[in-house]
């Protein structure tokens, strides 16, 4: 190589040589482009057989995809820059035509509903929002004959739990694809594909990452089902960056240990809240009085998740805002899955993009608080929440 400083500055230190060491932690591959000495090898790489351009395939994202697929019990996984990008990819992969029907949960994440309504409007597709936890939901799916059914394994924010097996049977009967957003339980709590789903979707930003420092999303399923999604991502460019993939894979390594604790803490907090006269209703599938407790025991593994929701007795939106300002340990933030406890007012956050009529139909009232229970001492968490409720309701 030339010794001229301009050339040295560009090329020196580009490759490690002479080492046989293997790092315990995968390195971060920040190079978006690679080169090959062989033109034949370069030609094959451009077909996706090796890493040459990170929009086609990238090492850190590939490692994360391998790990998430294994956790989901699926053949393959495609990673995305966000959970919303993953949800959009599933919709677009169905090649829906004018007049087709998409069924989705009426009490699910408001932003997902807004996204699908927008996508459907452009394509002339009809959205049917159903309460998928109702016993009659499978019959309604068969009657509607949709092309796609999107369920949430635990709904956001009311924590209802549909019978994924029954939804899968109904979907198969009419040839519909079943996609399950399983972000709330994470793959630790539910392997949706093993219950019959065609797609298991994660916002990897949440429990998989676990530290609120990397956006991302994933779709898992069979290689055949994911092939169109992977091809579309190559053209659309919704790729996950190397730093985000690396951080998320770091979080994945501790997922089972973290989720076990999150589930245990959430169960304890839910019990404490249910004993308070300040709380009108606690939404947690692990409580025996939860309407889907029996179903949750069948479709959730390792616990009932790290999410709890509750209605403050007699509260309106101003009272709930005072609650958010009164917490000391918890943090008011519109996300979940962190090691620290996060709280939010559901109607103004997760359900913000739903119309008042949609919120009312779903049962999302102004008194509803959603909690992502962290790894702090569970009594400290409960004490903080109850003290904040008391402070907020002083009039």
C-beta of residue 218 within 8 angstroms of C-beta of residue 89: no
In a domain, 272, yes or no: yes
pLDDT (tens digit per residue) in 163-174: 999 999 999 999
- Residue 349 has a pLDDT of 83
> Please, which residues bridge with residue 70 across strands?
none
49 domain-assigned? no
Q: What range defines the domain where residue 296 resides?
A: 255-392
109 is catalytic: yes
Structure confidence by residue, pLDDT tens digits, 351-385: 787 888 888 888 889 999 999 999 999 999 999 99
- The single residue of 88, 113, 191, 206 carrying the catalytic annotation is 206
CA angle (170 as vertex; 164, 174 as ends), nearest 5: 140
pLDDT at residue 159, rounded to an integer? 98
Q: Which two tokens stand for residue 73?
A: 């019990």
Residue 382 counted as domain residue: yes
Least confidently predicted of 10-14, 238-242, 264-268: 10-14
Residue of 53, 55, 117, 250 with catalytic role = 55
- List the CATH number of the domain containing 327: 3.90.1150.10
Of 95 and 360, more confident: 95
pLDDT at 281 over 90: yes
Rounded CA separation 317/327 (Å): 16
Catalytic residue status for 172: no
Residue 376 lies in a domain: yes
At residue 12 the predicted structure's pLDDT band, cuts being 50, 70 and 90, is: low
**345 alpha carbon, distance to own chain's centre:** 19
**Angle formed by the axes of helices 59-72 and 242-252, to 10°?**
30
Give domain status of residue 31, yes or no: no
Is the confidence at residue 110, as pLDDT, over 80?
Answer: yes
- On whether residue 297 sits in a domain, the answer given is yes
> Which stretch of 81-95, 348-362, 377-391 has the lowest confidence by average pLDDT?
348-362
Catalytic residue of the set 80, 88, 100, 109:
109
Is 4 a known active-site residue? no
Task: Check residue 5 and give its pLDDT.
Answer: 66
Compute the C-alpha angle 14/16/22, nearest 5°: 135
Report the percentage of the chain scoring pLDDT > 90. Answer: 88
Of residues 370 and 16, more confidently modeled: 370
Q: What is the mean pLDDT of the chain?
A: 95
- 191 neighbors 39 (Cβ within 8 angstroms): no
- Residue 13 pLDDT greater than 70, yes or no: no
Burial level of 312, CB count in 10 A (0-12/13-18/19+)?
A: buried
What is the pTM assigned to this prediction?
A: 0.94
> How many domains would you assign to the chain?
1
pLDDT of 114-138, one tens digit each?
999 999 999 999 999 999 999 999 9
DSSP 184: T
Q: Which segment of 193-197, 235-239, 338-342, 346-350 scores lowest on mean pLDDT?
A: 346-350
Q: What is the band of 10 on the pLDDT scale with cuts at 50, 70, 90?
A: low
Is residue 67 domain-resident?
A: no
Structure tokens at 174: 């009419």
Catalytic residue among 163, 181, 311, 319: 181
Region 268-284: mean pLDDT is 98
**pLDDT tens across 198-220, in order?**
999 999 999 999 999 999 999 99
Q: Write the burial class of residue 229 (CB in 10 Å: 0-12 exposed, 13-18 middle, 19+ buried).
A: buried
Give domain status of residue 226, yes or no: no
């Amino acid at each position: 190589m030339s010794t001229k400083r301009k050339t040295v500055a560009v090329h020196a230190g580009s490759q490690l040589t002479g080492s046989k060491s293997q790092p315990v932690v995968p390195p971060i591959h920040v190079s978006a482009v690679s080169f090959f000495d062989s033109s034949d090898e370069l030609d094959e790489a451009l077909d996706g057989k090796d890493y040459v351009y990170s929009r086609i395939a990238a090492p850190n994202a590939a490692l994360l995809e391998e790990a998430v697929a294994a956790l989901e019990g699926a053949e393959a996984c495609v990673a995305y820059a966000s959970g919303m990008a993953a949800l959009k990819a599933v919709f677009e992969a169905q090649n829906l035509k004018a007049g087709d029907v998409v069924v989705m949960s009426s009490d699910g994440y408001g932003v997902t509903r807004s996204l699908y309504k927008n996508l459907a409007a452009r394509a002339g597709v009809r959205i049917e929002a159903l309460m998928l936890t109702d016993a009659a939901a499978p019959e309604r799916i068969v009657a509607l004959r949709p092309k796609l059914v999107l369920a949430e394994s635990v709904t956001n924010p009311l924590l209802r739990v549909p019978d994924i097996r029954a939804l899968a049977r109904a979907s198969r009967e009419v040839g519909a694809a079943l996609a399950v957003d399983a972000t709330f339980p994470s793959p630790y709590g539910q392997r949706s594909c093993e219950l019959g789903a065609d797609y298991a979707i994660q916002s990897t930003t949440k429990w998989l990452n676990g530290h609120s420092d990397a956006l991302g999303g994933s779709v898992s399923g069979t290689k055949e089902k994911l092939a169109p999604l992977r091809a579309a991502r190559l053209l659309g460019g919704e790729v996950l960056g190397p730093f985000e993939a690396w951080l998320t894979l770091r979080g994945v390594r501790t997922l089972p240990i973290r989720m076990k604790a999150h589930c245990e803490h959430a169960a304890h907090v839910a019990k404490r809240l249910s004993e308070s006269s300040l709380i009108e209703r606690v939404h947690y599938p692990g409580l025996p009085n939860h309407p889907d407790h029996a179903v949750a025991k069948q479709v959730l593994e390792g616990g009932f998740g790290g999410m709890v929701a509750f209605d403050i007795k007699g509260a309106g939106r101003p009272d709930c805002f005072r609650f958010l300002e009164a917490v000391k340990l918890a943090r008011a933030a519109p996300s979940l899955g962190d090691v620290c406890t996060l709280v939010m007012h559901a109607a103004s956050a997760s359900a913000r993009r739903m119309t008042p009529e949609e919120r009312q139909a779903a049962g999302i009232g102004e008194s509803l608080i959603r909690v992502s229970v962290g790894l702090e001492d569970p009594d400290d968490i409960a004490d903080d929440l109850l003290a904040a409720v008391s402070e907020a309701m002083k009039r």
